[in-house]
Homo-oligomer: A and B are copies of this chain.
C-alpha cells in the first residue's frame, strides 16, 4: 500500500569526525522516503524554495517515490540545517538553522494522494501536521514524529495532534521533555495517555523501545556498527523503514510493529555508514533482508 509522508526537505551542511559535507540533500522527509521505498511505494509531500539542491529531484529517480507532491515555491528559500557531530556522534549540535520555507504555509497534499491509508507526519509544526491529517479521506495508520522545539512552544497543538494519531515516534530526550518523566517506560506510558495506541522511543546508538496501550514493552538495541560516518537521518530512516514495512502488512499488532522496528534499525544502520543518502543509495532490499536476518540471529539467545 502506498505510504504518504510529509516532512522537511532541506539542504544540509554536516561535520562529523569523518569529514564535512556542504549543501547536501537532507531533511526528515527525504531520509524517510528513501528508507520506506525499499518496502513500499511512497508519496512524498514537501516544499522547497527556488534554491533547492540541483540533484534533489534526481535522488528518487530509480525509486518508487511519487514526487508529485513536492512543491517548488517561487520567491521562497529552502530549509537549511548545519549540524556538527564532531564532539559527540550520538547527538548533533546545531550550528545554524534557517527554517525558510518551512516557516510559511504547508505544502498542499495533491488530490490523488488524499486516499492514502498509511501516513507518516514527519517532524514539522503540529498545526501543519493536523491540517494535513484533516485533509485525508480515510487514514488507517497515522504515525507522527515531533521535536523539542514544538514540545516547548506548541504543546497544546501537539497534544491535539496526539489525540488523532495511532503512533508517535520520538527520541528519548523529547519523550522526557514532553512528559517530565525520567524513566522512559513511564514517559512512554504518559505519552499513551495523550492518545496514541503505541509509542516508539528512539535512543540513538542505544536502540529503540516500543510501549503499547496494552502495556507491552519491547526493547531493541541498535544494529552494532563499528563504523559511523554520519548519523544524520538515522532516526528518519528508522521511521521510514519501520513505516515502509508496516504499510506492507496491513496490521499494526505489537508483533508486526516489533518486526517493523527491526527493519527500521537495519535501514538506519546503512544510513550512518556514509554522508547524506550515500549509505542508503549503496544498499538494496536483498541486503536489508539479509542484515535483518543476521540481526535477528545475533539478538537471539
Q: Which residues of A line the B interface, CB within 8 A?
A: 89, 182-183, 185-186, 189, 203, 206-207, 209, 216-222, 224-228, 255, 258-259, 261-262, 296, 298-301
Tell me which residues across on chain B come within 8 A of A259, comparing CB atoms: 301
- What are 27 inter-chain pairs, A to B, with CB distance below 8 A? A89-B182, A183-B226, A183-B227, A183-B228, A185-B224, A185-B226, A189-B226, A203-B206, A206-B206, A206-B207, A207-B219, A209-B224, A217-B224, A218-B298, A218-B301, A219-B222, A219-B298, A220-B221, A220-B299, A255-B301, A258-B301, A261-B301, A262-B301, A296-B301, A299-B300, A299-B301, A300-B300
**Cα(A266)–Cα(B259), bound, Å:** 23
Contact across chains for B301 and A217 when beta carbons are under 8 A apart: no
Contact across chains for B185 and A225 when beta carbons are under 8 A apart: yes
**A179 to B: closest C-beta gap in Å:** 13
User: So how many copies of this chain end up in the complex?
Assistant: 2
**Cα(A227)–Cα(B186), bound, Å:** 9
Tell me which residues across on chain B come within 8 A of A296, comparing CB atoms: 301
**A16 to B: closest C-beta gap in Å:** 12
Residue of A182, A219, A222, A261 with most partner-chain B CB within 10 A: A219
**Which residue of chain B is the closest to A265 with respect to CB atoms?**
B301
Residue of A189, A224, A259 with most partner-chain B CB within 10 A: A224
Tell me which residues across on chain B come within 8 A of A299, comparing CB atoms: 218-220, 299-301
Tell me which residues across on chain B come within 8 A of A182, comparing CB atoms: 89
Contact across chains for B262 and A217 when beta carbons are under 8 A apart: no
Tell me which residues across on chain B come within 8 A of A224, comparing CB atoms: 185, 209, 217, 219
Given contacts A183-B226, A183-B227, 4 further A-B contacts (CB under 8 A): A185-B224, A216-B298, A219-B224, A220-B301
Given A258-B301, A262-B301, A300-B300, are A207 and B221 also a contact pair (CB < 8 Å)?
yes
Tell me which residues across on chain B come within 8 A of A226, comparing CB atoms: 183, 185-186, 189
Tell me which residues across on chain B come within 8 A of A300, comparing CB atoms: 299-300
Tell me which residues across on chain B come within 8 A of A206, comparing CB atoms: 203, 206-207
**A297 to B: closest C-beta gap in Å:** 10
Tell me which residues across on chain B come within 8 A of A209, comparing CB atoms: 224
Tell me which residues across on chain B come within 8 A of A89, comparing CB atoms: 182
**Which residue of chain B is the closest to A226 with respect to CB atoms?**
B185
Contact across chains for A217 and B298 when beta carbons are under 8 A apart: yes
Tell me which residues across on chain B come within 8 A of A185, comparing CB atoms: 224-226
**Cα(A162)–Cα(B284), bound, Å:** 42
**A299 to B: closest C-beta gap in Å:** 6
**A234 to B: closest C-beta gap in Å:** 15
**Cα(A258)–Cα(B301), bound, Å:** 6
**Which residue of chain B is the closest to A89 with respect to CB atoms?**
B182
**Which 8 A-B pairs rank lowest in CB-CB distance, beginning with the nearest?**
A219-B221, A258-B301, A185-B226, A206-B206, A217-B224, A259-B301, A262-B301, A219-B224
